């Protein structure tokens, strides 16, 4: 895509952008917005933005609270600024970030302390920051409907207000006009539910939303709460989530709560309730650029969410970038802090200020290979990625996973509902009831899997249904990020580093983190499940005839992982998997025809990658403005 350029140096100066002189023959120098505005005296205000909905039924439009902080000097000079917004249900109930920060209010009702560092870092650089309370949470009216119309339209209304297309008022009812101080360009950011809202609002195509940065975000609420026809036991139910974040007086949201309970039916069927909370089909409406960040080992918001969203964005030529880490449900501020803040700074500068800093000419993907070891790819999945079929051979312990030849033999697998994942995948040469392991020979070269694996089994069940489970495993002792440990791959230290400017009520300092690693003989790379009676449709069930073989295909979670030479790739098959899919064991025995079963893997070139190793940020030097470089100790310019 073409780069955007700012033609007038005087405009750059007014926006607080450093302009570095260069010889006429030199290449253009990258530009960055500089911290020229005073954070401590920034304007803090609260605006109640009216939506077009009234789902609390009180006869007045529901209102979403937008707590705002913006540079005072820009307002005085008449310089309009873009907006970074984190719309969240968590500002009152639960807090944000690794330290669970909540909003703290001043006597006049404005926010004296904003969670996270976005305000501290970006307001001095000529941005406004908005922490919006989703409908029905904290001080907003309406009722939270967990990914539904009220939630999405409420956050969207804030963007519309910033562009003069919705009404905003003070607490006393005075109309507030945002177009006097903002350019109307908005970037949404957030982790988990917050990032999900960013995905959802982008899918509406609302004008003014220029970019989103979804971190560990949901793209379909069905795929968060359900698993191919089964219930996901690792996450809270929709009614429970509503209760957790509800900020309204008792009884106000009873009707909405009841509708959530009846819509999110207890079975695994996909219905209109889930369809309304599936943002992937609306990817064609996304006009914002998208910077996806996701942990490949996230067991809360699993990889299916970034995978299907990314594929849909790519199909619609949405400008995009991606970071994939080895951690679980962790913010990049806590697993790659210095590089993250610098990259996010340049991303927002490009998309919200139009500064030609070259970020869209850089590699599309950053992938973490091991703790603090990152590699980049020009595209993701990389050029040259091809689908390779792996067949299943033999009934020994283990069987053979082969990239050539044909499948052979027949497998009888009896359900073992108490079989844990650890027992299912460990000690692959040991025969265990309820599991079957297939392994490649020892790899003679690195094997890179980049994309979404799929598996097809020709299976007959002795019962009307059974769960089918497949896991990709790398076998070989190595030191890896321990995403199963407390902290999901990171630990929180006692030291701090500061990332932006501080005031007497809101400091920019946060505890540092370190990677948690361990040596293990194996690691589960990807998982996938299918309910046999949902093999043909997620909306309805069809019993399996006990005398009939069915060809059933399902996806595993997308990954970008390298299995190094000297290790083996394994496929582990089980039936019930109570940790990840609600156990409804039928006691079935599944007979699998290996001659018609196949594992399809997206194999990418494992050579030609650019590697960068970073030292763990255990004790960074004290800084004032927070743009610490782990290599030079100087402020990024």
The residues that are catalytic are 192, 298, 329
Closest CA to 148 of 65, 218, 206, 59: 218
DSSP string, 324-358: EESSSS--GGGTSHHHHHHHHHHHHHHHHH----S
Side-chain half-sphere exposure of 93, counting CA atoms within 13 A: 16
Beta bridge partners of 402: 391
Name the token pair of 349.
């500068």
381 upstream amide cis, omega within 30 of 0: yes
DSSP string, 578-626: TTTS-------EEEEEEEEEEEEEEEE--SS-EEEE----SSPPP-SS-
CB 239 within 8 A of CB 264: yes
Q: Could you give the maximum distance between any two Cα atoms of the chain, in Å?
A: 79
Sign of CA pseudo-dihedral 610, 615, 616, 617: negative
Question: 247-250, long-range: CB within 8 Å, 24+ apart, which pairs?
Answer: 247/92, 247/93, 247/133, 247/136, 247/137, 247/138, 247/139, 247/140, 248/56, 248/136, 248/141, 248/143
CB 6 within 8 A of CB 349: no
CB 92 within 8 A of CB 85: no
H helix or E strand, kind and range, residue 312 = helix 304-315
Beta bridge partners of 458: 551, 593
Side-chain half-sphere exposure of 516, counting CA atoms within 13 A: 16
Round to whole Å and give the CA distance between 62 and 167. Answer: 11
**Alpha carbon of 306 to those of 275, 295, 326, 450, 458: distances in Å?**
18, 9, 14, 13, 29
- Map tokens 């309009």 to a residue: 80
Contacts of 281 (CB under 8 A, 6+ apart): 312
Name the token pair of 528.
């996938």
Secondary structure of residue 283 in the 3-state scheme: helix
Q: Cα 181 vs. chain centroid, distance in angstroms?
A: 31
Closest CA to 214 of 357, 329, 354, 125: 329
């Amino acid at each position: 895509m073409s780069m955007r350029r700012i033609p007038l140096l005087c405009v750059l100066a007014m926006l607080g952008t450093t302009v570095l002189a260069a010889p006429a023959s030199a290449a253009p120098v990258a530009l960055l917005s500089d911290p020229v505005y005073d954070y401590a005296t920034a304007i803090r205000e609260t605006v109640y933005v009216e939506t077009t909905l009234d789902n609390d039924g009180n006869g007045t439009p529901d209102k979403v609270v937008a707590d705002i902080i913006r540079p005072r000097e820009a307002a005085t000079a008449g310089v309009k600024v873009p907006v970074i917004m984190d719309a969240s249900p968590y500002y009152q109930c639960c807090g944000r970030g690794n330290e669970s920060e909540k909003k703290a209010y001043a006597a006049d009702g404005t926010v004296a302390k904003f969670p996270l560092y976005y305000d501290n870092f970006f307001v001095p650089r000529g941005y406004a920051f908005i922490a919006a309370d989703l409908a029905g949470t904290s001080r907003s009216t309406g009722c939270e409907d967990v990914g539904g119309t009220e939630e999405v339209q409420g956050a969207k209304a804030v963007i519309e207000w910033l562009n003069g297309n919705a009404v905003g008022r003070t607490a006393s009812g005075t109309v507030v006009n945002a177009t006097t101080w903002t350019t109307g360009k908005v970037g949404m950011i957030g982790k988990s539910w917050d990032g999900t809202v960013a995905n959802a609002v982008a899918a509406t195509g609302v004008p003014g939303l220029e970019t989103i940065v979804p971190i560990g975000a949901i793209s379909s609420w069905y795929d968060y709460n359900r698993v191919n026809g089964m219930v996901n036991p690792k996450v809270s139910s929709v009614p429970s989530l509503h209760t957790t974040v509800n900020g309204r007086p008792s009884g106000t949201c009873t009707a909405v709560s009841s509708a959530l309970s009846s819509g999110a039916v207890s079975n695994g069927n996909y219905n209109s309730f889930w369809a309304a909370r599936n943002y992937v089909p609306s990817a064609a409406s996304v006009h914002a650029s998208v910077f996806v960040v996701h942990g490949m080992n996230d067991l809360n918001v699993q990889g299916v969410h970034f995978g299907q969203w990314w594929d849909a964005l790519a199909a619609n030529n949405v400008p995009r970038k991606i970071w994939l880490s080895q951690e679980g449900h962790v913010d990049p501020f806590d697993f790659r802090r210095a590089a993250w803040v610098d990259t996010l700074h340049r991303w927002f500068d490009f998309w919200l200020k139009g500064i030609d800093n070259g970020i869209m000419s850089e590699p599309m993907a950053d992938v973490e290979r091991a703790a603090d070891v990152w590699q980049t790819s020009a595209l993701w999945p990389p050029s040259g990625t091809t689908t390779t079929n792996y067949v299943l051979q033999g009934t020994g312990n283990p069987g053979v996973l082969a990239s050539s030849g044909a499948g052979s033999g027949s497998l009888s697998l009896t359900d073992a509902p108490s079989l844990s994942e650890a027992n299912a995948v460990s000690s692959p040469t040991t025969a265990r009831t309820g599991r079957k392991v297939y392994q490649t020979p020892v790899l003679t070269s690195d094997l890179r899997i980049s994309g979404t694996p799929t598996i097809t089994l020709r299976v007959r069940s002795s019962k009307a249904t059974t769960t089918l489970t497949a896991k990709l495993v790398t076998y070989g002792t190595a030191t890896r990020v321990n995403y199963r440990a407390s902290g999901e791959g990171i630990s929180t230290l006692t030291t701090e580093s500061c990332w932006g400017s501080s005031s007497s009520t809101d400091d920019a300092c946060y505890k540092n983190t370190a990677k948690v690693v361990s040596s293990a003989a194996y690691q589960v790379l990807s998982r996938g499940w299918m309910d046999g009676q949902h093999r043909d449709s997620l909306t309805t069930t069809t019993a399996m005839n006990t005398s009939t073989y069915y060809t059933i295909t399902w996806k595993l979670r997308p990954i970008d992982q390298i299995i190094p030479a000297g290790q083996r790739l394994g496929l582990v098959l089980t039936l019930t998997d109570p940790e990840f899919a609600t156990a409804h064991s039928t006691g079935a025995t599944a007979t699998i025809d290996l001659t018609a079963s196949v594992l399809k893997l997206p194999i990418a070139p494992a050579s030609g990658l650019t590697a960068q190793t970073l030292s763990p940020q255990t004790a960074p030097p004290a800084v004032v403005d927070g743009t610490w470089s782990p290599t030079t100790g100087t402020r990024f310019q």
